[in-house]
C-alpha cells in the first residue's frame, strides 16, 4: 500500500528551507487542536479512576460510557438509540480507517465516494480497502455543498459526508441531510456523516444525520451512520473518545470485527470521557471563545461568521506562495488548501487558492495572528 504524505508533512517540507522572521513570535494556526486546558472536572475524573488500570477494558466499551454517549445523542439530536445502535471507539480516526475496510471487504470492486477537500484518513481507508474513489467537490460555485450525480451514487458502496465541514465550515440543513438519507435508501449505499464539529457553532446548533433520518421516516437508520468525537467538543483529543451510531445490522458485524483489532480504550479514559459526554456547560464556554475569535476575524479580515467549526477557508491568489510569505515574513503557519484536497478527473482541485486557518487559540493570540494575515494580504 502506498499512502500520500499527510498535509502537515507536506507543510513541513514546504517551510523547512525557509528562515522565519524572528522579529515575530511564532504562531501556528494549522492543526485543528484546541489550545485550551481540558476542563478540570474531566482531568479529575481521569486521575480519580487510575486504579482501574489493573483491569482489561472491554473493546465494546463500558456501559457508563456508552450510556453517556446515547444520552448525548438524545439530548442533542432528539434521537433515542438502543444499545445495539451505537459502538464506542478509540477516537473517530480509528473508525474512519477501519470501518471502510470492514464494510467493503467482500466487495469485489468497492467504491467510496466522499467530499473533497477531505480529512485524509478517508483516502487512507480507500487505499487500504482497494476502493475506487469518487469525489464530491466542495467549492464556491456550489456553496460548498455536494452535488448529486445519480451515476456516481449508483456505483457507490460507501458515501462519506463531513458536515459541519472541515475545512470549508459549510453545513447542511436538516432537509438537505434528509435528502441524502433518501438517496442512501434509493441507491442502496451506506451513508456515513462525520459530525466531529457538530458542537462547535456560534449560534444555532447544526442538524445531524440521525435526526434527519428519523425526520424522513427512516427511524431504524437503515444504511445511515453518524460519527462523533469528544476531541473538539471538550478540548480533549487525548481522551480518544468517539462513537459510530445508526444502523444496528451494520454495527453488529462491525462490533465483532473490532474485538480483533485490539484498540479498547483504557478504563480511566472511559471514565473521564463519560463525564465529558454528560456535561454541556463546558462546551458552551468553549463555543463562546470560538464565537469571539470569529468576531475578531470579521473585524480584521471582513470574513463572515460560519455556521459551525473553528476554521476560516480564506481565499487567496496563490495559497502556496502566501503560506510561504506568512512564515517567512510573519513567523505564522497556515495550511494551503490544495494539501487538503485532490485534483479530480477534470483537473480541478477545490482547495486551490484557499488557506485553512484554525482559530483554536485564545482571542488575544487570534487577534495577533489575524492582524499579521491582514498585513500580508495588503502588502
**Mean pLDDT on 50-63:** 92
Percent of the chain surpassing pLDDT 90:
94
Of 181, 156, 158, the closest CA to residue 103 belongs to 158
CATH (one of 3.90.550.10, 3.40.630.10, 3.90.1150.10, 3.60.9.10) for 7-37+282-378: 3.90.1150.10
Q: Answer yes or no: is pLDDT of 114 > 90.
A: yes
Give the pLDDT confidence score for residue 230 in this predicted structure: 95
Q: Answer yes or no: is pLDDT of 361 > 90.
A: yes
Of 156, 136, 154, the closest CA to residue 146 belongs to 136
Q: Answer yes or no: is pLDDT of 263 > 90.
A: no
Q: Answer yes or no: is pLDDT of 4 > 90.
A: no
Give the pLDDT confidence score for residue 345 in this predicted structure: 87
CA distance 170 to 167: 8
CATH (one of 3.40.640.10, 3.30.830.10, 3.40.50.620, 3.30.70.1140) for 40-279: 3.40.640.10
Q: Answer yes or no: is pLDDT of 262 > 90.
A: no
Domain ranges of the chain: 7-37+282-378, 40-279
DSSP structure string for 299-314: HHH-PPPPSSSSEEEE
Binned at pLDDT 50, 70 and 90, residue 379 comes out as confident
Q: Answer yes or no: is pLDDT of 2 > 90.
A: no
Angle at 372 between CA 366 and CA 378, to 5 degrees: 135
Binned at pLDDT 50, 70 and 90, residue 13 comes out as very high
Q: Cα 265 to chain center, whole Å?
A: 20
- Main-chain phi, psi angles of 219, to 5 degrees: -75, -15
CA distance 3 to 192: 22
Q: Answer yes or no: is pLDDT of 1 > 90.
A: no
**Mean pLDDT on 55-63:** 91
Binned at pLDDT 50, 70 and 90, residue 284 comes out as very high
Report the predicted TM-score, pTM, of the whole model to 2 decimal places.
Answer: 0.96
Could you tell me where the DSSP H helices lie in the chain?
Answer: 7-15, 40-48, 63-77, 92-104, 121-128, 150-155, 174-187, 209-215, 248-258, 267-277, 281-301, 319-330, 363-378
pLDDT digits 0-9 by tens, 158-199: 999 999 999 999 999 999 999 999 999 999 999 999 999 999
Kindly tell me the burial class for residue 236, based on how many C-beta atoms sit within 10 Å of its own C-beta (0-12, 13-18, 19 or more).
Answer: buried
Give the pLDDT confidence score for residue 159 in this predicted structure: 98
Amino acid at each position: 500500500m502506498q499512502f500520500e504524505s499527510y498535509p502537515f508533512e507536506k507543510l513541513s517540507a514546504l517551510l523547512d528551507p525557509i528562515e522565519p522572521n524572528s522579529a515575530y513570535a511564532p504562531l501556528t494556526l494549522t492543526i485543528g487542536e484546541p489550545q485550551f486546558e481540558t476542563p478540570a472536572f474531566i482531568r479529575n475524573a481521569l486521575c480519580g479512576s487510575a486504579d482501574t488500570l489493573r483491569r482489561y477494558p472491554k473493546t465494546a466499551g463500558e456501559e457508563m460510557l456508552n450510556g453517556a454517549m446515547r444520552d448525548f445523542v438524545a439530548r442533542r439530536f432528539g434521537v433515542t438509540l438502543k444499545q445495539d445502535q451505537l459502538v464506542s471507539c478509540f477516537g473517530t480516526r480509528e473508525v474512519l480507517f477501519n470501518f471502510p475496510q470492514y464494510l467493503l471487504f467482500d466487495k469485489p470492486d468497492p467504491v467510496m465516494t466522499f467530499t473533497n477537500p477531505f480529512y485524509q484518513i478517508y483516502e487512507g481507508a480507500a487505499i487500504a480497502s482497494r476502493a475506487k474513489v469518487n469525489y464530491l467537490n466542495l467549492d464556491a460555485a456550489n456553496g460548498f455543498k455536494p452535488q448529486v450525480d445519480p451515476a456516481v451514487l449508483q456505483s457507490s458502496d460507501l458515501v462519506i459526508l463531513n458536515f459541519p465541514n472541515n475545512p470549508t465550515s459549510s453545513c447542511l440543513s436538516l432537509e438537505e441531510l434528509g435528502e441524502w438519507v433518501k438517496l442512501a435508501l434509493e441507491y442502496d449505499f451506506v451513508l456515513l456523516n462525520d459530525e466531529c464539529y457538530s458542537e462547535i457553532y456560534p449560534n444555532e446548533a447544526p442538524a445531524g444525520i440521525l435526526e434527519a433520518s428519523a425526520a424522513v421516516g427512516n427511524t431504524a437508520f437503515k444504511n445511515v451512520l453518524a460519527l462523533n468525537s469528544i476531541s473538539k467538543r471538550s478540548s480533549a483529543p487525548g481522551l480518544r473518545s468517539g462513537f459510530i451510531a445508526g444502523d444496528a445490522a451494520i454495527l453488529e458485524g462491525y462490533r465483532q470485527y473490532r474485538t480483533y483489532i485490539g484498540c479498547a480504550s483504557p478504563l480511566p479514559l472511559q471514565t473521564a470521557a463519560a463525564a465529558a459526554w454528560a456535561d454541556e456547560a463546558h462546551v458552551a464556554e468553549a463555543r463562546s471563545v470560538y464565537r469571539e475569535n470569529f468576531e475578531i476575524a470579521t473585524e480584521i479580515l471582513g470574513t463572515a461568521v460560519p455556521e459551525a467549526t473553528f476554521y476560516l477557508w480564506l481565499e487567496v491568489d496563490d495559497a502556496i506562495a502566501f503560506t510561504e510569505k506568512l512564515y517567512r515574513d510573519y513567523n505564522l503557519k497556515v495550511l494551503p488548501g490544495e494539501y487538503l484536497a485532490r485534483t479530480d478527473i477534470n483537473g480541478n482541485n477545490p482547495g486551490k487558492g484557499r488557506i485553512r486557518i484554525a482559530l483554536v487559540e485564545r482571542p488575544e493570540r487570534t487577534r495577533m495572528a489575524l492582524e499579521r494575515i491582514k498585513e500580508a494580504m495588503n502588502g
